[in-house]
Amino acid sequence: MVTEHPILPFLDFKDCPHRPPPTSICFFFLVFVYALFHLDCPFQTHIHIGNAIKVTCQALFPLTFPDDLSGSPSPNVTWWSGNALLDGSWQGSADGAVRNQLTLGPLSRADLGAEYTCWATNHVLSPPRSTTFSIDLLLRPLTVNMMGVNRPLSVGTTYQLSCESAGSRPAASITWWLGSQKLKHAREEHLEAFNVTRSVLSFTPDMDSLGQQLRCQAENHKLRAAPLQQSWPLTVHYKPRPTLRLWSRLQERGTRQGDDVFMKCDVRADPPVTDIRWKFQSKPIGLFPHLSVDISNGSLVLRSVTTKASGQYSCEATNAEGTAESNYTTLDVQVLPVCASDGTETVQAARGETVNVTCSVSANPEPFRYTWALNVSGE
């Protein structure tokens, strides 16, 4: 910083009383007062904690100053902090400059924003000149705090979560992580008055969020320091996810009339299920009294099934998050072929007449081979 003041001539009385008598001989000196001050600050804009800095303030007379008057009077260059004198040991040099070097450090966080002023004066009639600088430090974050919903979350519901970090300079950068995955959909704001960075995350948990750690991480990218972080273990609630399974032996050979059929409703849920219901043909199984059923602990047993038990079965599970229905399992009860009609059917025909005789059977699966036999009782 350079500050100039014009040359100001004035009379200085040497060896004369304040009011010289008529007989006194006084010598008059014409003094030119000229101030040109330059502040030399070769330190970094952002300084690391623990570093020391040296700041030089120098007062210069202009090159156009008359040779016979240069350095008259020589300026005083001092360093101050507020009203406290820090350094009054200035030194002149051959080039006519007067310098004062201030040494500060090692610097700590408490030095952030501290102001130091260099004052230079060379006569009571010349206004003093000054320049001021302040300490700007590189600082790592001191705190990081997650705020919001630190309780069980529900799959598919969007939550607004906040994270604040204080103490970093320049402002901290905040990122969100779910396990090793960096999350998006966060907005960041800086509260300069409080040196605080705040990030708000819109977070919608899904099934992949179960058992994960949600982490907020704050760091100053200008420093090689480990980021400051806080994490929450996630508890994620979700509606039941039921799966209906048929006893494996029946799947292998098929279900036959008279078998007992076992079904199991496997449910994945958090919180635990409070109720499991069974359905046949998409209706409550209790509406079908012809079915002989035993229900316990998520299991269904159909006793001595008939073809009337053939159809689609499902289970429905409920917890605090809601109700969900399982997959459909189709039960196909197999029966041996039997005649569709009861008793014996008599077909009469004349000699040489052609007749059609139909064999009607009830069977599951459909018969693939028929065999005929003729019982001749007479002509």
- Superfamily grouping for domain 238-335: Immunoglobulins (2.60.40.10)
Question: Which pLDDT band holds residue 268 (cuts at 50, 70, 90)?
Answer: very high
How confident is the model at residue 8, as a pLDDT? 43
According to CATH, the topology of domain 143-234 is Immunoglobulin-like (2.60.40)
CB atoms near residue 217 (< 10 Å) = 22
How confident is the model at residue 362, as a pLDDT? 82
Which whole number is the average pLDDT over 54-66? 69
CA distance to 140, 217, 221, 227, per residue, from 172 (Å): 8, 10, 8, 10
Residues 88, 116 contacting (CB under 8 angstroms): no
Q: Which residue type occupies 367?
A: P
How confident is the model at residue 227, as a pLDDT? 93
Model-level pTM greater than 0.75? no
Tens digit of pLDDT for each residue in 151-183? Answer: 899 999 999 999 999 999 999 999 999 999 999
How confident is the model at residue 377, as a pLDDT? 65
Q: Which secondary structure element, helix H or strand E, spans residue 176, and what is its range?
A: strand 173-178
Tell me the backbone φ, ψ of residue 252, rounded to 5 degrees.
Answer: -75, -45
DSSP structure string for 356-379: -----EEEES--S-----------
Preceding omega of 170 cis (within 30 degrees of 0): yes
Which whole number is the average pLDDT over 132-136? 88
Residues 300, 265 contacting (CB under 8 angstroms): yes
Which whole number is the average pLDDT over 329-340? 87
Choose which CATH entry (2.60.40.10, 3.40.640.10, 1.10.357.10, 2.60.120.380) describes domain 2-138. Answer: 2.60.40.10
Cα–Cα distance measured from residue 56 to residue 364, given in angstroms and rounded to the nearest whole number: 105
Residues 361, 340 contacting (CB under 8 angstroms): yes
Tens digit of pLDDT for each residue in 10-48? Answer: 434 444 444 444 443 433 333 444 444 444 545 556 788
In 3D space, the residue among 129, 57, 107 whose CA is nearest the CA of residue 87 turns out to be: 57
Q: Where in the chain is the domain with CATH 2.60.40.10?
A: 2-138, 143-234, 238-335
Cα–Cα distance measured from residue 161 to residue 24, given in angstroms and rounded to the nearest whole number: 89
Cα–Cα distance measured from residue 274 to residue 11, given in angstroms and rounded to the nearest whole number: 104
Q: Which secondary structure element, helix H or strand E, spans residue 244, and what is its range?
A: strand 236-246
The C-alpha angle 169, 172, 177, rounded to 5 degrees, equals 160
How confident is the model at residue 22, as a pLDDT? 46
Which whole number is the average pLDDT over 337-348? 77
